[in-house]
Amino acid sequence: MSRTVKNNPWYWVPPLYLTEGIPYVLIITVSVIMYKKLGVDNSDIGLYTSLLYLPWVVKPLWSPLVDLYSTKRKWFLKMQLVLALAFLGVGLSLPTNQFFVLSLACFWVASFASATNDIASDGFYLLALKEEQQSFFIGVRSTFYRIAMVTGQGFFVILAGYLEIKYGDNTKAWSLTMILIAALMLVLTLINYWTTPNIEKSQDYVKEKSLGFLDVFATFFQKKEIWLALAFILLYRLGESQLVKMASPFLLDSRELGGLALSTGDVGLIYGTFGIIALSLGGIVGGIVISRDGLGKWMLPMILSLNVPNFFYYLLAYFQPESAFYAGFVVVVEQLGYGFGFAAFMMYLIYVAEGPSKTSHYAIATGFMALGMMIPGMISGFVQEWLGYEGFFLWVVFAAIPGILIVKYVKYPYEYGKKKSN
């Protein structure tokens, strides 16, 4: 059967980006909740789950391999199968005595496979769609990526919480949940196999010699005021990158330890469902106002919106309210502000990548973005255990100050991103 008849983006864009989003949120966010419920210390959670960002930091180093060898479709299908096996490995390793080391090893495999899947899936999207189709389906792919986040951070966490109550055994609950996730990834891989068009030919792959790999890196670091730009990229989320690692442990920890003692299901509903919806709405509004007025008008308000709501976490830690409503309110406000503020950050990354080798330079810029999440996240658990939750959330607020102060020194066109009038 010819696969060209299946090149209908409505068939393959939704499942492809659902498959791209689910592994990322499981590796980066859900792993934090899982390890917390399995009794792992905050310092270890912060350090080792933050290290899982590393493949996204260094993915520019092997992204040319995806372009030069085999087809992108073969790459992402193989990586999705590896992801299914890696999550199965996580599920099977949890009942063992060495569950932390073994499951982390599986998550490491999953993180490299997920980062490679991202490269191949995004490349396939650009190759399989015409320019006007790319613009039309950008909203569709973003929507299904968000649905993936709700599925992973919301549905599966709620499911794990239900199984914890049903079996009275957190290990069994999370083991079953991860095995079910592995089964879902296998199903999604098969769906992508049948729906994605086989439009790539081996003769299309020519080893490019016009611009060497090292030249791509060299031209990026030769950009005007690039070191100031990189400092801004690393500092923009210095506070948020620490908060995101300790927010779920704070919601789950007992009151004696300074937490709010919420159930796993509550955290899945609050953080993984309402929080993701608020994050999406904030991002949509952020994109609209930048396209209307340009980046210059909104850069400072947006970095403030990303960081100021973090102070509410300090108030939660100080007052420790009984009702989950207050925690839900704070999470929604913080995620709404985060989504709104992140729009400016992404627009600035696009500006930094402009010029020749834009795709490669954007990959490098997003690598530094991931580095700005990884390193602060690694120390977040140690800082929290040293300062307690109250002191930690105050530190998070103060950690945002360098990024806010550097805004006035960063250069970019004032109306960058503003929609051109016809």
The answer to whether residues 306 and 342 touch, using CB atoms and an 8 Å cutoff, is: yes
Tokens encoding 166: 């049903």
Together in a domain, 267 and 153: no
Domain with 93 in it: what CATH number? 1.20.1250.20
Together in a domain, 132 and 190: yes
User: Is 241 inside a domain boundary?
Assistant: yes
Together in a domain, 112 and 186: yes
pLDDT given at position 418: 80
Together in a domain, 122 and 24: yes
User: Is 419 inside a domain boundary?
Assistant: yes
Q: How many CB atoms lie within 10 A of CB 407?
A: 16
Low-confidence residues of the chain: pLDDT under 70: 1-6, 64, 67-68, 126, 131-140, 201-213, 356-357, 359, 420-422
User: Is 211 inside a domain boundary?
Assistant: no
Together in a domain, 233 and 371: yes
User: Is 207 inside a domain boundary?
Assistant: no
pLDDT given at position 150: 84
pLDDT given at position 286: 85
Residue of 305, 7, 306, 244 lying closest to 129 (CA atoms): 7
- Domain hosting 415: range is 216-422
pTM of the model: 0.80
Together in a domain, 103 and 240: no
Buried b (16+ CB within 10 A) or exposed e, 1-31: eeeeeeeebeebbbbbbbbbbbbbbbbbbbb
User: Is 272 inside a domain boundary?
Assistant: yes
Rg for the chain (alpha carbons), in Å? 21
User: Is 104 inside a domain boundary?
Assistant: yes
What lies within 8 Å, CB to CB, of 166 at 6+ separation is 173
Residue where a domain stops, chosen among 198, 231, 254: 198
Together in a domain, 193 and 291: no
Number of domains in the chain: 2
Together in a domain, 79 and 171: yes
Residue where a domain stops, chosen among 198, 227, 246: 198
Residue where a domain stops, chosen among 142, 168, 198: 198
Together in a domain, 275 and 376: yes
